[in-house]
Amino acid sequence: MYYSATSLKKYISCPRKFKHMYIDKVYPIIDKPERLARGTNIHELLDYYKSKRMKFNPVLPDITLSLSDKIMAELWNIHYKNDGLTYVSSEKRFSTQIKGVKFKGILDGIVEDKFGNTCIIEHKTTSKVVNEDYFLTVNFDTQVLLYALCCKYMGYKIDYVIYDVIRLINKKKLVKTANPEYYKRDCKYGKKGDLKPGNRLEDETHSEYKNRIINFAKDNIRTHLVRREIPIEDSELIKFEKDLFQIIRSVKAGAFYKNQNACKKGRFLCDYFLVCNDEITLDNREFFSENYQG
């Protein structure tokens, strides 16, 4: 069995959910959440730009992205074009063993800075405000520490992790809101017959929309493209390795208890809630499949 950052986070969140997915190998039949598909597609476009910097001849990926997401990826490429980083690899799949236990993952990038330090670059997309609170727990993020630890066992000396965050723009095209034939009785007009702010006579054209998104992104570049260097200390990796193998021992001991605090996230129930509540079984093919849909 291979452990990944995703599976470890699943166990930390709810051991019973981990069991259903990685021991029983029964998966919920669900569409991939839009936000996850969106992040994956942006990663593919960033990989294209990184591969070009590595002097490869990549093919532009055939992906579906909104205009605003394409613009943010393009601005990322322009903004960091002269960042002094040399890419050693991009979207590197790896597998390794630590003390006989197998681990795997995908590194967004391994880079060398202008001082010769070797770093992991970790891309994140979010719609949230990227401030100090966003980075509050990054130092002990499971994925960051696991990848740094695996790199250590693969022979890399990781000096720090570059946490590379793109804050996505969620702005839609502006549409027609007013009709000039009825301005006298339309509340969207002022007393002089002029349109009140925020109202339009015509739909926004593609060109107008594109220029509005580009101008907004450029005006807010420092809050929408944010990087933070996270130092990786040997002492942190030693602590993490101890915690990591505590989880491994719990898995091997069959400690798959239910965590009721993980049953609901926001408005949504866990995919296995009905199973844990004894309303259905894992054999129910309306809800579950033996084929992974992630």
pLDDT digits (tens, 9 = 90+) for 67-82: 999 999 999 999 999 9
The whole-angstrom separation of Cα 166 and Cα 69 is 10
The whole-angstrom separation of Cα 240 and Cα 2 is 18
Characterise 288 by phi-psi region: left (phi > 0), alpha (psi -120 to 50), beta (else): beta
Query: DSSP state, 195?
Result: B
- Strands 2-3 and 101-112, by their bridges, are parallel
- Looking at every residue in the chain, the average pLDDT score rounds to 88
Task: For residue 219, count CB atoms less than 10 angstroms from its CB and return exposed for 0-12, middle for 13-18, buried for 19 or more.
Answer: exposed
Contact predicate 120/151, CB 8 Å = yes
The whole-angstrom separation of Cα 212 and Cα 210 is 5
Residue 123 Cα distances to 22, 44, 56, 216, angstroms: 26, 11, 20, 22
pLDDT in tens, 160-214: 999 999 999 999 888 887 776 665 556 666 666 677 777 787 889 999 999 999 9
Structure-token match 């807010």, residue found: 220
* 3-state SS class at 242: helix
Percent of the chain scored above 70 by pLDDT?
Answer: 91
- Which amino acid is residue 245, in one-letter code? F
Report the pLDDT value the prediction gives residue 58, as an integer from 0 to 100: 82
* Domains of the chain and CATH, by start: 2-168+221-289 (3.90.320.10)
| DSSP character string of 59-107 | PPP-----HHHHHHHHHHHHHTTTSS-EEEEEEEEEEEEETTEEEEEEE
Report the pLDDT value the prediction gives residue 35, as an integer from 0 to 100: 60
State yes or no: pLDDT of 65 exceeds 90: no
What is the mean pLDDT of the segment spanning 259-272? Answer: 89
What is the mean pLDDT of the segment spanning 122-151? Answer: 90
Structure-token match 């055939």, residue found: 62
Structure-token match 């979010």, residue found: 126
Binning pLDDT at 50, 70 and 90, where does residue 150 land? very high
Query: DSSP state, 190?
Result: -
Contact predicate 111/88, CB 8 Å = yes
